[in-house]
Structures are given as structure tokens and as C-alpha cells.
Amino acid sequence: MATADLSAPGGFRRRFSIAHWGIAGREALAGYLFTAPALIGLLSFTALPIVASLVLIFLNYDLLTPPTWASGSNISRLFDDSRMLIIYRNTVQLVAGATFLNNVLGLLLAVGLNRSMPWILRYILRTSIFFPVLTTTASLAVVWRFLLTQDRGVVNFLLGQIGLDPVPWLSSSRWALISATIYDVWKSCGFLMVIYLAGLQGIPVVYYEAARIDGAGRLQQFRNVTLPLISPTAFFAVVISLIGAFQIFDNVWVLTSGGPGDASRTITMYIYEKAFRGFEMGYASAVSFTLFMVLICLTLGQFWVARRWVHYE
Amino acid sequence: MAGTLSSNTETASAARRARRSPWHYLGESVLWALLVGIALIEVAPLTWMFSTSLRDPKNSFDLPPDFWPTAFHWQNYHTVITSPDIEFLLFFWNSLKIALIVSAAQLLTCSMAGFAFGRLQFRGRDFLFGLFLASLMVPATVTLIPSFILIKEMELINTHWALILPSITSAFGVFLLRQHFKSLPEELINAAKIDGATYFRIYWQILLPLTGPALSALGIFTFLGSWNNFVGPLLFLRDWDLYTFPIAIATLRGYMGTGNQSEVLAGIMISVFPILVFFLFAQRWIVQGAAITGMKG
Amino acid sequence: MLRLSGLGVVGAALAACVAPDGASSGDAGTAAQEPVGIIATTQMPVNTFDNSIERSLEQLPNIALEVNANGWGGGGWDGYSDTLLTRIAGGEQIDVIMIAIEGLGLLAAKNVLVPLDGFIQADPEAEEILMNDVHVTLREMLQVDGQQMEYPFSWNNMVMYYNTAVFEEVGLEPPANDWNWDDFLEACLAVARVTGGADDRFAYSFWGGGMFGMAAWYFNNDTSPLSEDWLESNVLDPKVLETLQFLADLILVHKVAPNPEGWDEWAQFHAGNLVMRTCGRWCIGGSLEADFTTYNIQYQPHQAGPIRTVAGTDGWGISTSSENPDEAWEVVKLLSGTDASLDMVQLGGNIPALRSVAEMPLFADYGPANTALFYETLDFAATVPSPPNFNAVEPILNRNYATIWNGEKSVEEAMQAAHDELVPEMAKLQG
């Protein structure tokens, strides 16, 4: 009875559609239709631009006058550009520093927050630490610029109160990048904390109980249970913080404008300046292509690392 | 009896202490110091901003700094809100509008593609999905220049479309939602197929409601990304009345140019305040949403 | 006598503006149609032109005028020109462009501006004003290869602002108009109070970079960062080095000047934490707004060579991309007229290009006691170095100056580095 009722309309539909497409064909059509919007977006705003930027590398183009053929001059210029080295060094330092600190701090804070405590305390701590994530990077960088000014700045005043010398946060090559890193960690470590917190809460309690029965202390539990089981989360967290850190732009744009000299200029900022301040679209594309290559190598490296170190259950 | 009881507890706690101290207490105090210390550092710039935004502009740079309001010069807020050239409410609305449209568009396109990649069989599926995966590696900076030329050719410069169109989909979102669709039980779909449901019905009525957490995660990610977008507006928007918050505030510093720090900070406070209220009420939801991206990655 | 003739010209100009001119009254038929949209862009606060837009409704009924702000792009005139070019490249409609001398070369080189000579010759009133009410220095500054590219609207020089209350407090006489660098340093040492505490008071701060701000110092030491023709680097000139050393010493040796990075000159000056600063007339605006009145101005202190002050002029020009250049020309005249100049003066903006306006009593009303000084300097003003690649030169200089102010590089090292960057950049101009 049930079979007859259910199969009748289904059978009809199937027969109807088979006539035109077949089940597989219908499913394929659905597949193409469902992916179409995303695919169109991907092709027009990622794939097409990548191809276009490959072409741009071989052109001299200033947006205002028609492009001219540059052959390999934009590429050879890369090797003569002494600023590139400094800027990549800055970028790597900022990316490494921010990724490392964000993740270590994020994990420690998550471990700290993942223990028994009154809910109100947990609420206050979590709110305080996470909230900066929701503010806009550029606006709060304006605030931090006020705080970090060398003369009559707030932070230096507080340091003076405990007997420390003023620090040239924004104006010295040694500190400018550190300031940018501090700001990024201030802004993002709460986000990493939340991701790690979810990872920690996903670890079944039985593992800890088993470890305790084996006589493992807190530290051993952390090393033998928490770390391996959190590694997929950590892998994800490191990947997104790396991608985020490579794109740091508004942070340094507002805090230091890339200075002093080039001391805190990042590769993203350099590309932007070459393109939209110098109007050298060809050369800017060549520079951005180097970033593309670096990121491909990095991603491949990450997957290699993941295969060796990340434990999936 | 009292003696035995106390000696019992003593042995128990002594045993625990023997296992835990001194590392346990050291670890505990380090964690607590870290939690409280970081929480204070995270909050201090915000309370400083609030306190200083309430100072008389003439005293905005006075030391020592306030981390709690001591003056209540609400006039600054009035000046900022009523300023004819810097329409904060408009900037807020622009930012909100763009972020909402972009989030909605991404939820739709990514979940549709995620459904197809996770649940449907069709020729070229793995190749197409591979394309999405590969594009995860492409930083926005690389496509910035050609995108500008493209937007220019489409004559969309100085419109909000210039910010919306390039963001209608994201490889990350497709990836995230594919994983979710894949993890849903097969029986659901089989039953629906037997019911004769169309693919659209399977997607829209049966599976999509079950991906709620992943959707909210993507929504939050996207919303934050758009809310924070700086390069896009910097490049594409020219008219003040189209500006979004981040670019307006970064410009405000130079534009007001008269060093009225308190007013600049009042402007930033106005941008932060609605987010704070929203967050206090929806914290659980936001935090869970943000967290879920990590669990499923 | 001169003043009277100046006013006469203004009267004529006013009459010309108020009465609809032949062209627009003759076009009564077209006036009923859709007005032509003209978009002007400026670096000034857009409310400067609110009244002008009102006036345009009456005086130019066939034109729908819009004035929008062109952002500074996070920099000075270099950022302004870049933003403007990006807008034009983006296909945006811009008919009337305000640009200062600093960006004029670049815009002219990119063929963005229409020469105005044709319009001026066909318009006797405008020509009369340009020839007789605008100083020759200002007029010629906005010419490229002998063609008038922009119609002058306002200009600036750089003078020393000082806090009169602090000078009185420490018992210093107001600076004389012939003071030199030694006098200046003496004054700095007398007024500064820097201990690292809450009541720190700095003597002087200056734009850490910026061609205009630095030229104010260079010109008073008979030198310039670029050669006379603006085609070559001159940063290794001993007098350039001497100037930079003097300024660096204020920060690093005498510690009377703050590091400019992140330092908010305006607010600190108004709060009394900064006693002296170098600025043009536009700084009056902020002081008016902040009700700050205990200040006066004096010439920049002088060191060597003839007395010179730096000057930069801005004006309105017509974009080559404008589809309605004739209407744009009407807007250029409206936006550089007497009324628009008066609006700007009252907001504490720049010095008007029209002598007749600068000589009105009203000009002196909106400024410190010594306000007359602003216009007086014009006779010995020299143009701020403004090569066509200004947008590349200014960032190079700024980047390298920053390494002097923070004490990381000696003046010689930093300028050698700047020179090495400037040489290939300047070579592009000759090639």
C-alpha cells in the first residue's frame, strides 16, 4: 500500500525526467545550476583577475593612457628593487610574530577560560577579550596611534610612571613593526581564543579521565591529550591567521604609514602604493605575483606539515 | 568521629596536593594572571577612548590619561552627529547595508555550491571544487589591480556595487559549507528522494535548516570582513555620502585636521557602540558561530 | 590708489556675476531644459562652497552645481593628486578641478587639464581680474609652458605661529621680523619645558616632511631640495644638510621639539603644550574653531641669502574629460570670485588670490594681530618646488626625513639615500 502510494508520483516524475535527462543528467544539471552563482563570482573576480594580472606584468599601464608593451622589464626590475627585500623582511617578521603570538596567546587564554569558574566571571573575561575583534581595524588603529605617540603619549606616560624611558613606538625602525604586531595581537587574539575554546570543548572528557587514572598531572594532560587533539583546530587557526597576517594593510597604513623609511611597510601596502599612487600597474602586478608565489609555497608547506603533525581522530 | 573525618579529608587533599603542587599552583596563577591581565589590556584602550571622547576638546591631550570618565562633555557627540560634512549615521548605515547584503549573498551562493559539491554527482565536480580550493590561496591583494580595472570597465566605481559584487561568493564559504553538507546523514536525502522532492526542495527545506550553525559562522565571518573592509572603500568610493566607517574614520583624522582628538574619538565611539550592544546581547551566538569555523576546518 | 582700482575691478566683477551674462540670458530656451550637471572637486572643506552653490542657483540657472571633496589619500598633495587621478581613471565625471601648484605638473603631464587661455581671452572681465587683481607671482605659478592651466583662487605661505601667553610668561619679547636661526633657537630653549612628565611643553614642532613645510626652512637658508628648474636632486647641497641638521638638533640634541610621528600639532598648540609652529593661513581656521586666541604670527626665522618665503597657489581648472567645458568655465569664475573668496576667508582658510579681498578689513578680522603679514610676503615669495613627478618626489623625501628625526641615520646618510632614489626618478623627467 505504502509503496504503491509513494512510488506512483515519484515513478511518474522519474519517468518524465528520464525521458529528457535521465537521473544522472538531472542531478548533473542541478549540480551545475547550484554551483553557477558561486562559480560566476569566482571566475569573474578571482580567476579572470589572475589571468589579467599575468598579462599586466608585461605591460606599462598607468590607467590614464593606453598600455604599452613592456616585455620583461617589470620582471627584471623586481631584482633591482632594493626596497623589495626590506619590505618582504618586514612582512615576514610581522606575519611570523603576529601568527605566533596570536596562536600561543589564543590557546593559553582558551585553556584558562575552559576551567570551572563562576559564569559571570567567564562572561566578563570572554567579552573583554573577544570584543576588540568586532571593532574596525582602521578606527582602533587611530586610537592606538594616539596611545603610542612618543612625546606626551599615553603609553609612554604610563611607562614613565613606573620609571621606564619613553619608547619611540611609531617613529623608530626597531619599534614600528613591533607596535604593528602588538596592535594586531590586541585586535585578533580574542578570535583565536574563541576558536581554540571550541576546539577544547570538543575534546571528550573520557580522554582526560583516562589520563588521570594513568596518573598524569595537569601539564602532562595538556601535552598528551590536549595538544594532539587540538591539532586540527590549531592547524586551521594557524592557516587563517597566516592568511590574515599577510594581508595586514589598514593596521600599518594608519599607525605608521609604513615608516619610518620603509621600516613597517608591508608587501600589501607596497603593491597598493605602486599601483594607485605611482600608477605603475605593470610593476605592481609583478610585485603582487611574487606574493602569490610565496603564498602558494606556504600553503603547500602547510599541507605537508599538516600531514605529518595533525592528528585527526 | 570528627577526628577520623578530618584525617580522611586531610589524606585525600594531601594526596591531591602531592600530585599537583607546586606546578599546579604555578600554572593556575600564571593562567589567571594572563586571563585578567590580557582582559585589562584589551579593555583599557576602549575605556580610554570613551573617557577621552568625553573630555573638553582643549584638554583631550592632557596627562595623566583617564581610563574612566572624569569629564562629561557630551557636546563632542553632538558636534559629531550634527556635523554637516561627516554624517556618522549615514556611514554606519552604509557599512551595515553593504555588510548585510554581502553576507546574505554569500550565504546563498556558498550554501548552494556547498550543497552541490557535497551532495550531488556531476561531471567535473571535483575539478570545479579544486578551483575553489586553489583560489583560497589567492590573496585579495593579487587581484586588486585587475579587479579595479574590471570594476572601472563595468562603470561601477564610486558605487556600493563595487564593494558588493566582488564579494558575492567566497571560496572559504563554499569549502566550509561543503564540509557541513557532507556530514549530514545520507538517509535524509534518500528519504526525500523517495518522496520525490526536487533538488531545490532537498536543499532549501530539508538540508539547509540543518546547517544553521555553519551558516551563522559564515555569516559572522563575512559580516566582519565586510565591516572591516578598508582597501575596497579606499579604492572604489569617492563621495563622502557613500563612505563606510573604516575609511571615514581614517580620513576624519586628516579631514578635521584641527586636532580635535575628543571629537575624533567620539566618532569612533559612535561606531563601536552599536556593535557593543549587539554583542552583549548576542554574544553566545556570535562566539559559537566564530568557533564553529574552527571545529570544522 | 591701487586699492581703489582694485575695488573697482571687484565691483565690475560683481556686476558681471550678478547680472546674467549675454550667453546665459540669450539661452532662455535652453534654461528651461534640464540643467547641465557640473561637478567640481576640492581639497577644502566642502562647506566652504555651500554659499557658492546657493549663488549658482540664481546666477547660473542652467547649471546644476555639485562640489565634492577629493580625499588627501593619507598624504599631502601627492596623495591628493593620486586620488584625483584614480577617480578620473575610474571614469568618474569631474568637470572642475581644484589643484595646487604641487599637483599641477602631474595633472598637466597626464593631460587632465584644459588650458584656460581661450576662455580668458573671450571673457574680458575675467581677464581684467586675472591681470590686475591677482598678483603676477600667483598667476604665473599656475601656468605650464606659458598656458594658464588654473584660475587662481587662494594661496599660502608659511609663517611662524607662536603662543603669546607663553612668551609673556617666560618674559620673552615677541620675535622681530628679522629674527634669525640663533634668535629662534634661543626662544626655543627659553620656552621649552620637557622632563617627561604630565606638564611637558615643547617649543616647536614642524611637519616631519611635506615639501611645503620643509621649503619654508630651506628657502630661508638660500637652498632647496631640488635644482632651480626642479629637474634634478639638490639634497646633497651643504645648505640642505645644514638646514636638516638644525631641525634634527631641535629634536635630538636640544630636545625642544617632539618627534613629529603621531604628534598632533594642532591640538598641542591649542592646549599650550606646543609654543611655536610653522603653518600657513589655513591654521587660523582650527584656532577659530577651538576659540584659541593667544597667538600671533611672524616671518619664519632667516639664516642666509635673500629673504624668501615659500608660496603655493591653488586654483580652479577644467578637466579634459568634461563634456560641458563652457558651463565648467562659468563655474570656475563663480568659484574663484569675490564672494567665494570671502566665504573661504571667514572660515579661516587660505589667503585669497584676489588682492581686493585680501585688502578688505574683513581679512584682518579673522586672524591674529599680525595678519597683514600674510599678504605682504608675496613680493618676495618663491614657488614651492613642484616637479611633474611631485607625487613620487614628496614620498621619497618624507621617507628619508623620518630616519633623521628618529636619530637612526645621520643627515648625510639619509640624504645620500634620498639622492640615490631621486636620481633615477628625476631622470625620467628628462628622458
Residue with cell 568659484: C335
Give yes or no: residues A105 and A16 share one domain.
no
pLDDT interval class at A180 (50, 70, 90): very high
Domain range enclosing B39: 2-73
Give the pLDDT score at C75.
64
Question: Is the domain of A13 the same as that of A140?
Answer: no
Instruction: Evaluate whether residue A157 is within a structural domain.
Output: yes
The domain that contains C148 carries what CATH number? 3.40.190.10
Tens-digit pLDDT profile for residues B69-108? 888 888 888 877 777 666 777 888 899 999 999 999 999 9
- Coil, helix or strand at residue C289: helix
- Percentage of chain B exceeding pLDDT 90: 15
The CA distance from C392 to the nearest CA of chain A, in Å, is: 7
Note whether B91 and B26 are same-domain residues. no
Q: Which residue among C46, C273, C290 sits closest to B61, beta carbon to beta carbon?
A: C273
What is the spatial distance between Cα C391 and Cα C112, in angstroms, rounded to a whole number? 15
Task: Label residue B8 exposed, middle or buried (CB < 10 Å: 0-12, 13-18, 19+).
Answer: exposed
State whether the Cα torsion A294-A299-A304-A305 is positive or negative.
positive
* B261 and B282 inside one domain: yes
CB contact (8 A) between residue C289 and residue B255: no
Average pLDDT over residues B4-17: 45
Do the beta carbons of residue C384 and residue C102 sit within 8 Å?
Answer: yes
Residues in chain A within 8 Å Cβ distance of B283:
123, 126-127, 130
- Tell me what pLDDT residue C1 has: 30
Q: Position of cell 518522496?
A: B195
Please tell me if residue B291 touches chain A, with a CB cutoff of 8 Å: yes
Other Cβ atoms less than 10 A from the Cβ of C67: the count is 22
Domain that holds residue A305: 76-309
B34 and B112 part of one domain: no
The per-residue pLDDT for A92 is 93
- Residue B259 has a pLDDT of 53
Are residues C19 and C164 located together in one domain of the fold? no
In angstroms, rounded to a whole number, what is the distance separating the alpha carbons of residues B1 and B274?
61
C-alpha cell at B267: 566618532
Residues C148 and C237 placed together within one structural domain of the fold? no
> Contact at 8 Å (CB) between B72 and B54?
yes
Residue C211 — φ and ψ, nearest 5°?
Answer: -55, -40
Cross-strand pairs, C99: C315
pLDDT at B293: 61
Does residue A284 sit within a domain? yes
Rounded CA-CA distance C245/A19 in Å is 88
Q: Which of B58, B84, B236 sits opposite C270 (nearest CB)?
A: B58
Residue A64 counted as domain residue? no
What is the signed CA dihedral for A61, A65, A67, A70, rounded to 10 degrees? -60
C47 and C138: one domain? yes
**What three-state secondary structure class fits B157?**
coil
Q: CA of C327: how far to CAs of C40, C60, C330, in Å?
A: 12, 9, 5
**Do both C246 and C283 map to the same domain?**
yes
Judgement on whether residues A47 and A185 belong to the same structural domain of the protein: no
What is the pLDDT averaged over residues B25-40?
Answer: 88
| Contact call for B19 and A215, based on CB within 8 A | yes
Same domain membership, residue B8 and residue B111: no
List the one residue out of C72, C89, C90 whose CA is nearest residue C81. C72
Shared domain for A252 and A166, answered yes or no, is: yes
CA-based nearest residue to A115, from B40, B25, B28, B42: B28
Per-residue pLDDT of B122-176, as tens digits, reads 888 888 988 888 787 777 777 888 888 888 888 888 889 999 998 899 888 898 8
Q: How many domains does chain B have?
A: 2
Q: Are residue B180 and residue B263 in the same domain, yes or no? A: yes
Are C258 and A152 in contact (CB < 8 Å)? Answer: yes
Same domain, A7 and A112: no
The pLDDT score that the predictor gives to residue A286 is: 93
- At B193, list the grid cell: 528522494
Q: How many CB atoms lie within 10 A of CB A255?
A: 26
Asked whether residue C183 falls in the same domain as residue C110, the answer is: no
CB contact under 8 A, A277 and C82: yes
The answer on pLDDT for A13 being more than 60 is no
Per-residue pLDDT, B84: 65
All cell numbers assigned to C376: 605682504
Q: Are residues C59 and C126 in the same domain?
A: yes
- On chain B, the residues whose CB falls within 8 A of the CB of C265 are 259
Cis peptide bond prior to B22, omega within 30° of 0: yes
Residue A21 sits in the same domain as residue A105: no
In this structure, are A188 and A238 located in the same domain? yes
Flag whether A71 is in a domain: no
pLDDT of B57 > 90? The answer is no
Look at residue A70 and tell me if it is in a domain.
no
Residues 6 or more apart whose Cβ sits within 8 Å of residue C145:
none
Identify the domain boundary among B42, B73, B104. Answer: B73
pLDDT given at position C21: 41
Q: pLDDT by residue (tens digit) across A245-290?
A: 888 888 898 888 887 888 899 998 999 888 888 888 899 999 998 9
Q: Do B69 and B88 sit in the same domain of this protein? A: no
Same-domain pairing of B61 and B153: no
User: CA–CA separation, B148 vs C90, rounded Å?
Assistant: 8
Residue in B150, B276, B293 nearest the CB of A49? B150
Helix (H) or strand (E) holding A10: helix A2-20
Give dist(CA C377, CA C309) in Å, integer: 7
What distances in angstroms separate CA C106 from CA C70, C81, C89, one per listed residue? 16, 8, 14
One domain for residues B133 and B38: no
The angle at the Cα of B232, spanning B227 to B237, to the nearest 5 degrees, equals 100
Position A11 pLDDT exceeds 80: no
Among candidates A149, A160, A253 on the partner chain, residue whose Cβ is nearest the Cβ of C262: A149
Q: Answer yes or no: is pLDDT of B290 > 80.
A: no
Grid coordinates in use for C199?
A: 606638564
Select from B27, B49, B73 the last residue of a domain.
B73
Instruction: Give the helix, strand, coil percentages of chain B, each rounded to 5.
Output: 80, 0, 20
d(CA C368, CA C346): 13
Q: Residue B64 corresponds to which amino acid?
A: P
User: Are both C255 and C130 inside the same structural domain?
Assistant: no
If asked whether residues A210 and A162 sit together in one domain, one would say yes
CB contact under 8 A, A150 and C258: yes
Q: Give the separation between CA A147 and CA A152, rounded to whole angstroms.
A: 9
Cα separation, C391 vs C110, whole angstroms: 13
Same-domain pairing of A205 and A241: yes
pLDDT per position as a tens digit, A112-169:
888 888 888 988 898 899 889 888 888 888 889 889 988 888 898 999 888 888 888 9
Q: How many CB atoms lie within 10 A of CB B14?
A: 11
Same domain as C296, residue C186: yes
Judgement on whether residues C107 and C65 belong to the same structural domain of the protein? yes
A142 touches chain B (CB under 8 A): yes
- pLDDT for C191: 93
Query: Is residue C295 domain-shared with residue C330, that is, in the same domain?
Result: no
Say whether C290 and B58 touch across the interface (CB within 8 A).
Answer: yes
Q: Which amino acid is at C175?
A: P
Q: Which of B219, B99, B35, B103 is nearest to A190 (CA)?
A: B35
Residue in this structure with the C-alpha cell 640615490, named with its chain if needed? C420
Claim to verify: residue C393 and residue C248 sit in the same structural domain: yes
Segment holding C296, helix H or strand E: strand C295-298
**Is A215 within a domain?**
yes
If asked whether residues A241 and A273 sit together in one domain, one would say yes
List the subunits that have 3+ CB pairs under 8 angstroms with B: A, C
Burial grade of C18 (CB within 10 A; 0-12, 13-18, 19 or more): exposed
A66: in domain: no
Same-domain pairing of B16 and B112: no
**Residues B86 and B38 reside in one and the same domain:** no
List chain C residues with CB under 8 Å of B257: 266, 286
Q: Are residues A176 and A27 in the same domain?
A: no
**Interchain pair B174, A276: CB under 8 A:** no
Residues C285 and C196 both lie in one domain: yes
Establish if A61 belongs to a structural domain: no
Strands (E), B159-261: none
Last residue of a domain, one of C362, C381, C400: C381
How many independent structural domains does chain A possess? 2
Q: Is there a contact between B259 and C268 (Cβ–Cβ < 8 Å)?
A: yes
Contact residues, chain B, for C266 at CB < 8 Å: 257-260
Contact A131 B276 (CB under 8 A): yes
**B101 interfacial to chain A (CB closer than 8 Å):** no
d(CA B61, CA C42): 31
What per-residue confidence (pLDDT) applies to B292? 66
How far apart are the C-alpha atoms of B158 and B167, rounded to whole Å?
16
Tell me, yes or no, whether B52 and B105 share the same domain. no
Q: Are residues B51 and B88 in the same domain?
A: no
Count: domains in chain C? 2
B264 touches chain A (CB under 8 A): yes
Sorted by sequence, the CB contacts under 8 Å of residue C306 that are 6+ apart come out as C222, C380
Domain that holds residue C222: 159-309+384-430
- Give pLDDT < 70 ranges for chain C: 1-33, 72-75, 208-209, 431
Residue numbers of B between 222 and 261 with CB closer than 8 Å to A? 224, 227-228, 230-231, 235, 245-247, 249-250, 252-253, 261
